[in-house]
Structure 1
Amino acid sequence: MSHFLILLALRDEGGEHRRHIDSAGTIEGGDVTPDRPLRYLVAVITAVLNKVDSLPLHSRTPIDWGRAALVNPIPLLVDHAFLEKKAANNAMELMTQWPNEWFPGWVETMTGVARDEAAHLAQVVRLLMRRGGRLDRNHRNPYANALRLLVRRGEPEIVDRLLVSALIEARSCERFAVLAAAAEDLELSAFYDALFSSELGHYKVFLKLAYKIGPRGIVEARWQQMLAAEARILADQAPGPRIHSGLAVQP
């Protein structure tokens, strides 16, 4: 049993419960009851963790990163809000960047991703404001900026942009799973747990589109190069309460 699963199982045995969050940011209950025994919840959590394990990332985030990042959740939520804003903007920019003369389903896919990310932004902002936080005017994300430097110009550009988008979604997905497992705050745990599935879907969408555009062998080789580069870029990030920070977070 992984450390994620052990932590969550112990939390449920202690009387707390897993919950889900809807698009309006409302928390819905899911107590451990005779109808929803612990083994059922553990099975659900196991399924989520198996999906995390299936991510092709070349490095893994330890649970200690999540615990340290959550010591002061306000700056983490501020960073997260800007990430959702930038993710929505990225999808909107890609909306008109379809390859060739036309690509059926492209516009609908990108508008759907943009809508999801905007909804996530609204949820993060509500959490932030309820906890007494506020947004900053400016935000820097050296992790994403370094990934975007990998994008080649010319014909390969759209494939590279899709692969970078997939990388960011995949790493965000993994980090949300760590935060959900590490959080003692039930609301934050449920929130990040719910975001995991959405980000997993976005990662798959971007990767699938990249494979549809270019020759599979060439796209696969480029994807492997970018996965290796992403792990190096993440390892070089400074510590701090950010979604894509380095591992040694300083509260």
Structure 2
Amino acid sequence: MAPVLLAATPEGWAARVCQRPLELLSDHAHLERKAANNALELLNRRPPRVGNEWSAELAQIAREETQHLLLVTRILFRRGGALNRVHRNPYAGLLHGHIRFGTGAELLDRLIVSFLIEARSAERFGRLALESEDRELARLYRGLRQSEQGHAAAFLELSTAASDRASVQKRLQEYIEIEAGAIQAQSVGFTLFSGL
């Protein structure tokens, strides 16, 4: 099971976003906070037939996301930036809008959404690492890319503990198309999930 993102990030996106590094760092700090909260929330949703490895994996993801939050905010603050008080992520909102809340499939959907957000993050950080002329930020983006790839793989593996493989594959294919539409619908901005 090796799904790919249907919509590649357009050429020129990374160069544009790199023009406003403090906005991107502020946005990403909030994304790391939300990712840590998501992992902690999922930690308590362990399926009955699954052992403690579920909780251990999600605790590790939450820890790494929190470490990234600390790393990103240190760079942001040292460079004179600040966290925005309000943070919106319309891309994630579109993905969450398709979660089948209140059903037995809710957990599977949440894991697939988490997988796709991490996969898209990894793809975008790869672009930023190649495009950034700021050596410190390029190094940061390379490290984040590798971590996000690992988190994506972990969420995909956890999804197979939440449901049978056929259901995972079917829903994943549906969500891959949803994700492509969601990322292409984003307006121009200087955030990780902005459009071009």
Q: TM-score band, normalised by the shorter chain?
A: over 0.9
1:198 aligns with 2:147: yes
| Structure 2 partner of 1:142 | 90
Q: CA deviation at 1:102?
A: 4.9
Conservation of the 8 A alpha-carbon contact between 1:55 and 1:170: no
Q: CA deviation at 1:62?
A: 3.0
Taking the TM superposition and a 5 Å limit, the aligned residue runs for 1:198-217 are 198-217=147-166
In structure 2, distance between residues paired with 1:103 and 1:227 = 29
TM-score (norm 2): 0.95
1:98 aligns with 2:46: yes
Q: CA deviation at 1:168?
A: 0.2
Q: CA deviation at 1:100?
A: 2.1
1:124 aligns with 2:72: yes
In structure 2, distance between residues paired with 1:222 and 1:128 = 38
Q: CA deviation at 1:82?
A: 0.3
| CA pair 55-64 structure 1, distance change in 2 beyond 3 A | farther
In structure 1, distance between residues paired with 2:15 and 2:37 = 30
Taking the TM superposition and a 5 Å limit, the aligned residue runs for 1:10-25 are none
Residue 140 of structure 1 aligns to a residue whose secondary structure is: coil
Percent identity of the aligned residues? Answer: 43
Conservation of the 8 A alpha-carbon contact between 2:36 and 2:66: yes
Conservation of the 8 A alpha-carbon contact between 1:159 and 1:214: yes
In structure 2, distance between residues paired with 1:105 and 1:193 = 28
In structure 2, distance between residues paired with 1:90 and 1:188 = 25
| Structure 2 partner of 1:221 | 170
1:78 to 23, 26, 32: 26
1:80-116 deviations in whole A, cap 9, x for unaligned? 0000000000001111011126533111111100000
Which amino acid is the alignment partner of residue 26 of structure 2?
Answer: V
Residue 44 of structure 2 aligns to a residue whose secondary structure is: coil
In structure 2, distance between residues paired with 1:219 and 1:96 = 20
1:183 to 132, 136, 157: 132
Which amino acid is the alignment partner of residue 42 of structure 2?
Answer: L
Gaps of 5+ in 2: none
1:2-32 deviations in whole A, cap 9, x for unaligned? xxxxxxxxxxxxxxxxxxxxxxxxxxxxxxx
In structure 1, distance between residues paired with 2:164 and 2:44 = 22
Q: Aligned-pair RMSD on alpha carbons? A: 1.2
In structure 1, distance between residues paired with 2:159 and 2:75 = 34
Conservation of the 8 A alpha-carbon contact between 2:50 and 2:161: no
In structure 2, distance between residues paired with 1:120 and 1:186 = 18
1:62 aligns with 2:10: yes
Conservation of the 8 A alpha-carbon contact between 1:62 and 1:178: no
Residue 194 of structure 1 aligns to a residue whose secondary structure is: helix
| Structure 1 partner of 2:120 | 171
In structure 2, distance between residues paired with 1:62 and 1:186 = 23
TM-score (norm 1): 0.75
Q: CA deviation at 1:61?
A: 1.1
| Structure 2 partner of 1:162 | 111
In structure 1, distance between residues paired with 2:24 and 2:163 = 37
Conservation of the 8 A alpha-carbon contact between 1:151 and 1:157: yes
Q: CA deviation at 1:214?
A: 1.2
Gaps of 5+ in 1: 1-53
In structure 1, distance between residues paired with 2:145 and 2:14 = 14
Equivalenced residues, count:
194
In structure 2, distance between residues paired with 1:92 and 1:213 = 16
In structure 2, distance between residues paired with 1:55 and 1:80 = 25
| Structure 1 partner of 2:35 | 87
Larger radius of gyration: 1
| Structure 2 partner of 1:245 | 194
